[in-house]
């Protein structure tokens, strides 16, 4: 007879080997075969560059949650420095583990080793991304609510997300409820790509119970965290 999972709180979860030492997103660049562009289906640089081409005085911000080594952000920083040297641009990368590939070369880039679950941005963002990071978050729904609250009125949100990792107290998946809430808020959930896209602020109205690190690999083949909620 299966036993109930032992649910971890956020502090304990963030100190676990699955979360603190995960290998996801460590070498992914901005473009190319192993890249944000390939994973997200669009080029983050071009999204921001298009805004700057339309208005060279615009204040543009990109926040990337669970940025891993920060390789994609470092590459974006260098490209923006070449092509838009005078632009008012801020790029912020957040990761729990300080495993950044390099240090920022300009004041435009900020690489922060901190918990995304307690961080707040200095200003609204034009683009918020989370590439294969939600798999390692305990309170995934709260972080989705937070990240979408950081969006400026015309901004874009994109994140890899597997709703089968959201469970009810009896361990049954809450997939339908989660997807319905996302879509009701105006966001798109791509079932094939396992991704949220768009602009909207969902309210899941769920009580977070804790996280299970023993559920095994998710759809990526890497160990992931299953999050439990009550409605």
Residue 146 has pLDDT above 80, yes or no: yes
Q: Which two tokens stand for residue 223?
A: 């160990």
Residue 3 has pLDDT above 80, yes or no: no
From start to end of 26-183, where are the E strands? 59-65, 88-95, 109-113, 125-130, 151-160, 166-167
For the chain, the maximum distance between any two Cα atoms, rounded to a whole number of angstroms, is: 64
Q: Which of 103, 107, 231, 106 has its CA nearest to residue 178?
A: 231
Question: What's the average model confidence in pLDDT over 18-34?
Answer: 75
Q: How confident is the model at residue 18 (pLDDT cuts 50, 70, 90)?
A: confident
pLDDT in tens, 179-226: 999 999 999 999 999 999 999 999 999 999 999 999 888 898 888 899
C-alpha span between 181 and 205 (Å, rounded): 9
Q: Quote the pLDDT of residue 23.
A: 55
Task: For residue 90, give the 3-state DSSP assignment.
Answer: strand
Lowest mean pLDDT among 14-28, 67-81, 165-179, 202-216: 14-28
Q: Quote the pLDDT of residue 216.
A: 86
Q: Under 8 Å CB-to-CB from 84, ≥6 apart: which residues? A: 49, 52, 56
Domain formed by 10-230, architecture: 3-Layer(aba) Sandwich (3.40)
C-alpha span between 34 and 42 (Å, rounded): 13
pLDDT in tens, 83-125: 999 999 999 999 988 889 999 999 999 999 999 989 999 999 9
pLDDT > 90 fraction of the chain, expressed in percent and rounded:
80
Please give the distance of CA 179 from its chain centroid, rounded to a whole number. 17
The b-or-e profile of 85-109 (16+ CB within 10 A means b, else e) is eebebbbbbbbbeeebbeebeeebb
The H-or-E segment that residue 198 falls in is strand 195-198
Q: Quote the pLDDT of residue 112.
A: 97
Q: Where are the domains of the chain?
A: 10-230
């Amino acid at each position: 007879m299966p036993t109930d999972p032992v649910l971890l709180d956020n502090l304990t979860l963030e100190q676990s080997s699955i979360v603190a030492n995960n290998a996801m997103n460590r070498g992914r660049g901005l473009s190319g075969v192993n890249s944000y562009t390939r994973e997200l289906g669009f080029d983050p640089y071009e999204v921001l560059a298009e805004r700057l081409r339309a208005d060279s005085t615009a204040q543009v911000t990109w926040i990337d949650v669970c940025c891993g080594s920060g390789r994609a952000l470092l590459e974006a920083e260098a490209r923006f420095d070449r092509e838009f040297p005078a632009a008012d641009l801020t790029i912020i990368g957040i990761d729990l583990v300080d495993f950044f590939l390099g240090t920022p070369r300009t004041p435009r880039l900020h690489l922060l080793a901190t918990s995304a679950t307690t961080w707040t941005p200095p200003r609204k963002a034009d683009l918020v991304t989370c590439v294969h990071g939600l798999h390692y978050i305990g309170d995934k729904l709260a972080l989705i609510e937070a990240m979408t609250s950081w969006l400026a009125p015309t901004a874009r949100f994109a994140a890899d997300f597997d709703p089968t990792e959201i469970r009810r107290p009896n361990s049954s998946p809450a997939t339908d409820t989660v997807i319905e809430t996302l879509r009701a808020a105006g966001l798109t959930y791509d079932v094939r790509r396992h991704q949220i896209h768009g602009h909207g602020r969902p309210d899941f109205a769920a009580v977070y119970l804790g996280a299970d690190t023993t559920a095994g690999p998710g759809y990526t083949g890497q160990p992931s965290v299953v999050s439990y909620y009550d409605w």
